[in-house]
Structure formats: structure tokens, C-alpha cells
Amino acid sequence: MIAIVNYGLGNLTSIQNMFKRLGIEAVITSDFETIKAASKLLLPGVGHFKKGMDNLKESGLQDLLNEEVLVKKKPILGICLGAQLMTSHSEEGDVDGLNWVSADTIRFRTESVPGLKVPHMGWSDISTKDQNPLWNALPAEPRFYHVHTFHFKIKDESATSATTHYGYDFVCAFHKDNIYGTQFHPEKSHKFGMKVFENFAKL
């Protein structure tokens, strides 16, 4: 069973519905015992970084997730804001994150690309950079749907899993041990996103 962690921000139902289409059990929950019993976790998110961290801390979910992910090594997939929260720090609110991955979350550098509009919204091809099992048997020329103003700035290059281009190349997915993160939205990415979710469920 996959626990979709509900901390008050995110496209929870659309994620759950895609798992249902795949015949995979996934529950939306903030219940500690359900999260502990899950075989895998998914941390979604749409919204402001500081609000996300505040919600995780105030609910007690931050300590629980640290135990499940860092100590018990349970596989977890972060999506969009959920993945950004796994980084060390964000320019959005100037606040520290979970610090699971050596990376920061930064705003698009529009000053370096005149006319670049943010947020980055729409479909973009990705270029995979490692043997991440989430990429297994992806359809040809994988494309994923993005909606974001901030993106990862990876410090540990070994964690870079995929890049894409919007004004300039940036990291759109990372992988470190049992921790997976995507800036794009698999739940909005049709057959490409379905394959990513299917592969995650097989971990």
C-alpha cells in the first residue's frame, strides 16, 4: 500500500486516481499508523514552500517522515513542492527544508534569459541521466507536464536523475538511495506519468 501524505497541500485525488487506474492501492492519509504501515510513501505538493514546511512541522509529520525515510529507508516519491521540500533550503520564504538531498530550491533566473516567463507551465521533454528505476520501460521521448516557478539546484551531482530545458537546462528529477523527487507532475503526464507511478509501485 502506498500512502499519499496529506499535509494540507497538493493534488491528492488526481494522484490517487492514477494509481487506481493502474490497479495499485494508494490511500490519502495524515494518520501516523497508516503511514507507518505503508510500504511506500508519496509526498505531493502545490503551493508555498514555507507553508509546506510549517504544515509538516506543526502536524508532527516531519519527525515521522524522517523516521520512516531516513531510518527505516522506506521508498518515497516527492512531486513538485513535495520534492522541493526534500531539499536543504528554498528561496521561497527563505526557509530550510527537510535536508534529505544536498540541493537548494531556487527561483528561475529570468535575468539570465530575457523574456523568460514564469511559471514554467506545460509539456517538456526530459533527458534521463542515471539508471533510476522510475525510468524503466518509459515510452519513447518521454515528456512530462510542469507547473513551477522554482526548481532544484543540485549540489551533489550524483543525485541528478533527469534534466529538462526552459530558458536553460535545469534538474527536474533527483534520486538518492530510497528518495526520489520529480519537479514535473506524473499525475498530469498521461502514459509517461503512469509508467513512472507503475515503476515506483514496483520498488
Mean pLDDT of 151-174: 96
What pLDDT does residue 62 have? 98
State the catalytic residue, choosing from 68, 80, 148, 175.
Answer: 80
Cell of 148: 513551477
What pLDDT does residue 10 have? 81
Active site residue 187: yes
Active site residue 91: no
Task: Give the model confidence (pLDDT) of 65-79 as tens digits.
Answer: 999 999 999 999 999
pLDDT band, residue 112 (cuts 50/70/90): confident
Task: Give the model confidence (pLDDT) of 84-93 as tens digits.
Answer: 999 999 999 9
Q: Is the pLDDT of residue 104 over 90?
A: yes
Q: Is the pLDDT of residue 139 over 90?
A: no
What pLDDT does residue 155 have? 96
Active site residue 172: no
Within the chain, strands assigned E span 2-5, 26-29, 40-43, 76-79, 89-90, 95-96, 103-107, 120-125, 127-128, 143-148, 150-154, 160-166, 168-176, 179-182
What pLDDT does residue 90 have? 98
pLDDT band, residue 147 (cuts 50/70/90): very high
Q: Hey, what CATH class is 2-201 in?
A: alpha beta
Dist. CA 64–CA 168, nearest whole Å: 37
Mean pLDDT of 162-179: 97
SS3 label, residue 85: coil
State the catalytic residue, choosing from 151, 172, 175, 187.
Answer: 187
pLDDT band, residue 7 (cuts 50/70/90): very high
